[in-house]
Amino acid sequence: MALAVLHRESDADVSRPRDGFVKAYRGMLLARLLDEKFATLYRAGKIQGGVFLGRGQEALSVSAGLALRPGDVFAPLIRDAAGRLAFGESVLDAARTFLGSALGPMRGRDGNIHRGRPREGLLPMISHLGAMISVVNGALLAHRFRKLPATVGLACLGEGATSTGAFHEAMNQAGVEKLPLVVIVANNQYAYSTPTVRQFACRSLLDRAAGYGFAGHAVEANDLAACLQVVGQAVATARGGGGPQFVLANLLRLCGHGEHDDAHYIDPGLKSSPLGRDCLKLAEEHLLRQQWAAAAELETWRGETVKLIEEVIAQVQREPAPDPYHEDWSALSSRNLLEGQA
């Protein structure tokens, strides 16, 4: 588990507020720095395809990943580097996918934020927004059929994705089946350039929860402690048989839609509002204020994290790219059914 590397203090006990918070903070930090590394590599022309950052959403995302356990099912979206790492994805998987290493989990067939390991409960997103939720539902149904002990499924998405038919059908399906599903909607105020007023007409997306038979929770998502509490509680409730849970997170995207986008359209008023405060900074302030860590310690953690990332990137940059002549070009697992067409 990626975070384990960073959070190895011998006496750590994440059920203690300080330890849990520190672990989450270090997860956020890892995600932030990893994201920034990819952004740098992108600007240097070393990454193919889009780079989408979770800047400003790490507190929420890490809380999701931390609340899950092995055996659970997680469907992250484009801003969930933190959640992925916390759920157990390795920095190596991330780096290999972004840098197009043939050794990555997608072996160059798919890239970047599309990575996943379905066998380990980490679903590889398709781009079509909303489409992953019903897949999580299906996995949970399977767990029910197979009588697996209380697993949880968790799907993340942005507020824009709530406008898709796929979202609706899957939410309703989870409600009807009373699945242990947690859906987290990060309302970061924009879907690409589109503000929420062009996306939905309710006062709050929380108004949707009851219509699907979900319990609803809201959280101001640049507050790590609040995220840990609210998301943790939602996951625990789902796990305990409390039925599907909907978490509406209020925050602001602190970056472009992707690294190609300067986000000039973001309302400056939002940026300077409380919503615009950076969750990572706030978490650092909290650590210092609570005296859970000293400034020097923060520096050390940052240094360790940078080093870890640099090592992984250096390793991956030496790895081979996929070779089309070794690619088997097979979209079917049943090799005998392949056609030899040109």
Site residues for its own copies per CB under 8 A: 163-169, 172, 175-176, 178, 197-203, 205, 207-208, 210-213
DSSP symbol at 157:
E
Q: For the CB of residue 116, give the shortest distance to other proteins in the complex, in Å.
A: 7
The only residue of 23, 26, 55, 143 in contact with other proteins, by rule CB under 8 A: 143
Instruction: Report the C-alpha gap between 104 and 96 in whole angstroms.
Output: 5
Site map for other proteins, 88-127, x if CB under 8 A?
------------x----xx-xxxxx-x-xxxx---xx-xx
Ramachandran assignment for 49, one of left (phi > 0), alpha (psi -120 to 50 degrees), beta (any other)? left
Give the one entry of its own copies, other proteins, ligand TPP, none that residue 116 binds, where binding means its C-beta sits below a cut-off of 5 to 8 angstroms depending on kind.
other proteins
**Stretch 28-57 residues interacting with other proteins (CB under 8 A):** 48-49
- Picking from 39, 70, 105, the residue whose alpha carbon sits closest to that of residue 261 is 39
Least separation, in Å, of the C-beta of 168 and its own copies? Answer: 3
Shortest reach from residue 293's CB to Mg ion, in Å:
31
The torsion angles phi and psi of 285, rounded to 5 degrees, stand at: -60, -40
Which tokens is 97 given? 């996918």
Compare residues 41 and 184 and give the one whose CB is closer to Mg ion. Answer: 184
Smallest gap, in angstroms, from Cβ of residue 159 to its own copies?
Answer: 12
Among positions 122-181, residues that touch Mg ion (CB under 5 A) are: 158-160
x/- binding map, residues 281-320, to other proteins, per CB under 8 A? Answer: ----------------------------------------
Distance CA 243, CA 261 (A): 39
188 lines the binding site for Mg ion (CB under 5 A): yes
DSSP sequence for 217-261: EEEETT-HHHHHHHHHHHHHHHHTT---EEEEEE----S-SSTT-
Q: For other proteins, which residue of 8, 11, 44, 146 counts as binding (CB under 8 A)?
A: 146
What is the C-alpha to C-alpha distance for residues 155 and 181, in angstroms, rounded to an integer? 8
Q: In the complex, what is the shortest distance from the CB of residue 112 to ligand TPP, in angstroms, rounded to a whole number?
A: 13
Q: Both tokens of residue 160?
A: 């824009």
Q: Pick left, alpha or beta for residue 263 (phi over 0 → left; psi -120 to 50 → alpha; otherwise beta).
A: left
